[in-house]
Structure 1
Amino acid sequence: MTRLETVYNEKVVPELLKEYGYSSSMEIPRMTKISLNIGLGEASQNSKLIEPAVKELTAIAGQKAVVTLAKKSIAQFKLREGLPVGTRVTLRGDVMWDFFDKLVSFALPRVRDFRGIPDRGFDGRGNFTMGIKEHTIFPELDIDRVEMVKGMNVTVCTTAKTDKEGKSLLDLLGMPFKK
């Protein structure tokens, strides 16, 4: 068990049980997966941007990233079906817990002028998505070797039924939301 998973089992579960009064332990919200995504629209013009992005996302996630391809052609963006447009990785299990711990403990405090994360990223079903403007906040990356600073999306999927329950779960796990 990872450090954050132990915190979840010992502190978060009893707190959520007390707050919402679930009748079954299976109703208690938990994280199911974390999805990381780097979109590279300019990669359709310059295919040399994909390989470094895959390596960097693999280093950040600790799991091999895959290249995403365009599903349809869009003439205005000079995009053809099947061209690479980004990279993504889905984390589950211990890798997910380790990444979330690293995100909350190390990466987010390294953001310049950090005041907290706005809670607007919930989708109505307890899942939370946030954008990161600079992927260089993660300690695995050597900033001197990064050719181009990229943004990335982080989606945390939970079993919560409402946004309030999902926010409570992430708040208790240490996600620094704005007050």
Structure 2
Amino acid sequence: MSYFMKIYKEKIFWDMYYHYNFKNIMQIPYIFKINLNAGCGNFFFDKKKINFFFTNINNVCNQKPVFVKCKKSISEFKIKKNDNIAIKLTLRKKNMYNFLYKVLNLSLPLIKGFDGLSSKSFDDFGNYNFGIEDYFIFPEVNSMIDSSLNFNYGLNISIVFKNSDIEKSFTFLTYLNFPFKDV
């Protein structure tokens, strides 16, 4: 069992239950899934860079990502139909909690000048979204000898909650010691 999963089941679950006086334990919010998205922007023509990025995301999340294909050709961007233009990944259960632990305790503290994440990045349903500008902060990323493959690229991370709104999601993430800067 993952460390964060254990903390959720033993502590956060009951803290949320008593904090909001729920009548039923099925009303307690929980993290349903974590989505990772990364556009291939400048390097979608370079197969080496795309494969390098794909294998690194695979190593970071312990799960194989999926390529997003272009639905139609766009001549202004020199994109053909069915070209790989992005990478997406959905994490659930154990992989989700392991990734969240890795991001909060290992990767975010490595960012130079990191002062926290914004508490205003919640959508109307209580889901939290944030971005990482450089995916090289993860310890699993291979730093290859070839300098042409060392390029900075970011990720968009979306934490999707079930049975939640903005206030409950914020409380849940503060119980996980999420590094908010506006608190």
Q: Deviations over 1:36-64 (max 9, x none)?
A: 12211223433332111110100111111
Q: Residues 160 and 166 of structure 1 are in contact (CA less than 8 Å); yes or no, is this contact kept in structure 2?
A: no
Offset at 1:177? 0.9
Q: Match for 2:19: what amino acid? A: E
Unaligned 5+ residue runs, structure 1? none
Residue of structure 2 in register with 1:126 after alignment: 126
> Does 1:95 find its partner at 2:95?
yes
Residue of structure 2 in register with 1:169 after alignment: 172
Q: Deviations over 1:76-121 (max 9, x none)?
A: 3222221111212111111111111111111111111010000222
Matches of 2:77 and 2:163 in 1, distance apart? 38
What's the Cα RMSD here?
A: 1.6
Question: Greater CA deviation, 107-116 or 84-93?
Answer: 84-93
Question: Greater CA deviation, 74-83 or 91-100?
Answer: 74-83
Offset at 1:123? 1.3
Residue of structure 2 in register with 1:156 after alignment: 159
1:97 alignment partner, SS class: helix
Q: Residues 70 and 82 of structure 2 are in contact (CA less than 8 Å); yes or no, is this contact kept in structure 1?
A: yes
Q: Deviations over 1:116-142 (max 9, x none)?
A: 000222111011111100001111113
How many residues align structurally? 179
Aligned positions of 1:16-55 closer than 5 A: 16-55=16-55
Matches of 1:63 and 1:135 in 2, distance apart? 16
- TM-score, length of structure 2 as denominator length: 0.90
> Does 1:137 find its partner at 2:137?
yes
Identity among equivalent positions (%) equals 29
Q: Structure 1 or 2: larger helix share?
A: 1
Matches of 2:13 and 2:95 in 1, distance apart? 20
- TM-score, length of structure 1 as denominator length: 0.92
Residue of structure 2 in register with 1:12 after alignment: 12
Matches of 2:94 and 2:164 in 1, distance apart? 23
Matches of 1:51 and 1:36 in 2, distance apart? 17
Q: Match for 2:180: what amino acid? A: F
Q: Residues 39 and 85 of structure 1 are in contact (CA less than 8 Å); yes or no, is this contact kept in structure 2?
A: yes
Residue of structure 1 in register with 2:3 after alignment: 3
Residue of structure 2 in register with 1:82 after alignment: 82
Matches of 1:98 and 1:49 in 2, distance apart? 26
Q: Residues 133 and 150 of structure 1 are in contact (CA less than 8 Å); yes or no, is this contact kept in structure 2?
A: yes
1:34 alignment partner, SS class: strand
1:35 alignment partner, SS class: strand
Q: Match for 1:165: what amino acid? A: K
Matches of 1:44 and 1:8 in 2, distance apart? 39
2:131 alignment partner, SS class: strand
Offset at 1:144? 4.8
Residue of structure 2 in register with 1:117 after alignment: 117
Matches of 1:108 and 1:35 in 2, distance apart? 17
